[in-house]
A and B are shown apart, each in its own frame.
Chain A
Amino acid sequence: MKPGMDRSARNCKGCDDSYTVTEAQIQRILAAPMFQSSERCVDDEVYAARLRECGSCPKLMSGTTCIVCGCIVQISAKYKEKSCPNPNDVRWRSVASH
């Protein structure tokens, strides 16, 4: 379709459903093969501990989003190489990465 002929572009861009985070979306991403890799991902125990840390953090929005980095914590907490992005209240330090 020619640019500009896309009618959805005329509506409020921010009200689009694609801008919401749903549990189904998170689970669909976590089902990807890369999240089954023990080389790239932390084990279940570390993952749960990281999410507990995020769960009590005032920078967690709507139970899903870290407002310091914009990531969905259920996804970023999976990565071994990730660290807490908040320099004012560093978390995950007490949690071993693997």
Chain B
Amino acid sequence: MSNQITINADIAKGTINRNIYGHFSEHLGRCIYEGFWVGEDSVIPNTKGIRNDVVEALKKLNIPVLRWPGGCFADEYHWKDGIGPSEERKRMINTHWGGVVENNHFGTHEFLLLCEQLGCEPYISGNVGSGTVQEMSEWVEYMTFDGVSPMAELREKNGREKPWKLKYFGVGNENWGCGGNMRPEYYADLYRRYQTYVRNYGDNEIYRIACGPNVDDYKWMEVLMREAAGKMDGISLHYYTVPKDWQDKGAATGFPEDEWALTLRKALWMEELITKHSAIMDQYDPEKRVGLIVDEWGTWFNTEPGTNPGFLYQQNSIRDALVAGLTLHIFHDHCDRVQMANIAQIVNVLQSVILTEGEKMLLTPTYHIFDMFKVHQDAELLDTHTTSARYEHGDELLPQISVSASKAADGKIHISLCNLDHSAEADVSIALRGLTQGLKTIKGTVLSGAAIDSHNTFEQPNAVEPAAFTSFTWDGAQVSAKLPAMSVTVLELIEQ
């Protein structure tokens, strides 16, 4: 059975918010320190302590937004520890993750400088679990108040006269777990209280994000929306793709064939989660004013053997690329509700786009997906209908392909296609209707691997990288393509 796709180029279903392509950075393992921050004295080329190679690679992705400082770390983070002369900053133990000494050399100024270097919006997670209302209120004042105030004066004393622009602010993180083990009713009240003091100063308008549910905790979503929907702009959702279970998650590479399909099935569960959570949100917010913010997602495997397990360092293979492609397609499909998503985590932790080791750096298969898919940012989602062949392996039965199409402001149409089958090519027929003019050119890019765990290493950093895709023919508005096994392909179509 072949795969039949119909794309209605004249029916737009909404805008794919560029923030769906956001990233997450936590003070965890080597994400911040060594990943971004090496200090000005390092032999690794850096600008004001932030390594240049990582910034350059990330700028190519057009990263829209970066979430910081956690994660679980956020609800133990006291921002005043991370400002002022670095040698005077408080040292502490990061008890959540591996017992690393936190010297607070990377704090508010450094994070906002990083965002300036990346050209992205900062998304800051405030501390509800162990912090005070005053502390959170003063942090916002410190960053955004333009005028005479105690926090503005403190900011100026620390070398920054003008306030920063800050749009995205999370009021707590995982408050059902590491952020205080709260019940939803209790957190809902705390959220109402804390967000009151997250002020808009001058013309800086903050988009307030409430801590939403863990995975399929529909009660949490129900309570938060019922009690606080009118006081939030967004609500978060966290879901990680764990192939097996939390005790033995499965390996990032060298995994048995069965875990390929199992992993993809679990990644596809995101569709059900968003659909059901959105249905609850619809009851309280039928106009879809409140955004669903999937601010932690991605694969979570057993850490690499021989590394500190608290650092959550894992390899990243072509399987991760498929998880990324599938998940981004699901976010596209729900672009009326999903307004931001942040993959966990940007460097050296979980499903990273970059790995570093000393002065070495590599781009992972997931990096290449974000690079290939960046054309969807801010584009109009096109109405697409797919009849997919079946992909059966063991007990798993999945659709063979996943498709998403969008039209950019410059008129180009982009079609991304995932072939989930780890062993078979996919024959695809695409019927395009509603074109303004006939097709002029089509070009393609594909990412695939020679094995189900193909990945990049510091010895072979380009083992998995995008290649030109030419296995297609087209005639008028009909495209036929043959997708390699376990691949992600992006086609660019230009009308005459």
Tell me the A residues contacting B by CB distance below 8 Å: 1, 3-4, 6, 8-16, 18-21, 29, 61-62, 64-65, 67-72, 75-76, 85-88
* Of the residues A8, A9, A29, A70, contact of B313 by C-beta under 8 Å: A70
| Bound: A11/B176 CA distance, A | 8
Q: Which residues of B contact A11 (CB under 8 A)?
A: 177
Q: Which residues of B contact A75 (CB under 8 A)?
A: 305-306
B137 CB to closest chain A CB (Å) equals 26
Contact of A19 with B309 at beta-carbon distance under 8 Å, contacts A3-B242, A88-B43 already known: yes
Contact of A67 with B177 at beta-carbon distance under 8 Å, contacts A4-B215, A72-B307 already known: no
| Bound: A59/B44 CA distance, A | 16
Give the contact stretch, choosing among B95-103, B105-113, B158-166, B380-388: B95-103
B351 CB to closest chain A CB (Å) equals 15
A40 CB to closest chain B CB (Å) equals 13
List B residues 1-36 near A (Cβ within 8 Å): 29-30, 33-34
Interface of A is mostly: loop
| Bound: A8/B177 CA distance, A | 10
Contact of A71 with B306 at beta-carbon distance under 8 Å, contacts A8-B246, A87-B359 already known: yes
B402 at the interface (CB under 8 A from A): no
A to B CB contacts below 8 Å, 9 in the list: A4-B215, A6-B246, A9-B214, A11-B177, A14-B72, A61-B100, A69-B357, A72-B308, A87-B42
Q: Which residues of B contact A8 (CB under 8 A)?
A: 246-247
Chain A residue, CB-CB nearest to B358? A85
Tell me the B residues contacting A by CB distance below 8 Å: 29-30, 33-34, 41-44, 72, 95-101, 174, 176-178, 181, 214-217, 242, 245-247, 266, 269, 305-311, 313, 348, 357-359
| Bound: A61/B34 CA distance, A | 14
- B311 to A70, Cβ gap below 8 A? yes
- B247 to A18, Cβ gap below 8 A? yes
B496 CB to closest chain A CB (Å) equals 47
B14 CB to closest chain A CB (Å) equals 27
Contact of A9 with B178 at beta-carbon distance under 8 Å, contacts A65-B98, A69-B357, A88-B42 already known: no
- B34 to A67, Cβ gap below 8 A? yes
Chain B residue, CB-CB nearest to A8? B246
Q: Which residues of B contact A87 (CB under 8 A)?
A: 42-44, 358-359
| Bound: A7/B247 CA distance, A | 11
| Bound: A4/B310 CA distance, A | 22
- A70 to B307, Cβ gap below 8 A? yes
B446 CB to closest chain A CB (Å) equals 30
| Bound: A4/B99 CA distance, A | 28
| Bound: A64/B309 CA distance, A | 12
* Of the residues B177, B247, B269, B313, contact of A3 by C-beta under 8 Å: B269
| Bound: A50/B359 CA distance, A | 20
Chain A residue, CB-CB nearest to B245? A6
Q: Which residues of B contact A68 (CB under 8 A)?
A: 30, 34, 357-358
| Bound: A85/B242 CA distance, A | 30
Q: Which residues of A contact B72 (CB under 8 A)?
A: 12-14
Q: Which residues of A contact B310 (CB under 8 A)?
A: 14, 19-21
| Bound: A75/B352 CA distance, A | 24
Q: Which residues of A contact B306 (CB under 8 A)?
A: 29, 71-72, 75-76
| Bound: A15/B96 CA distance, A | 6
Contact of A18 with B357 at beta-carbon distance under 8 Å, contacts A67-B100, A68-B34, A70-B30 already known: no
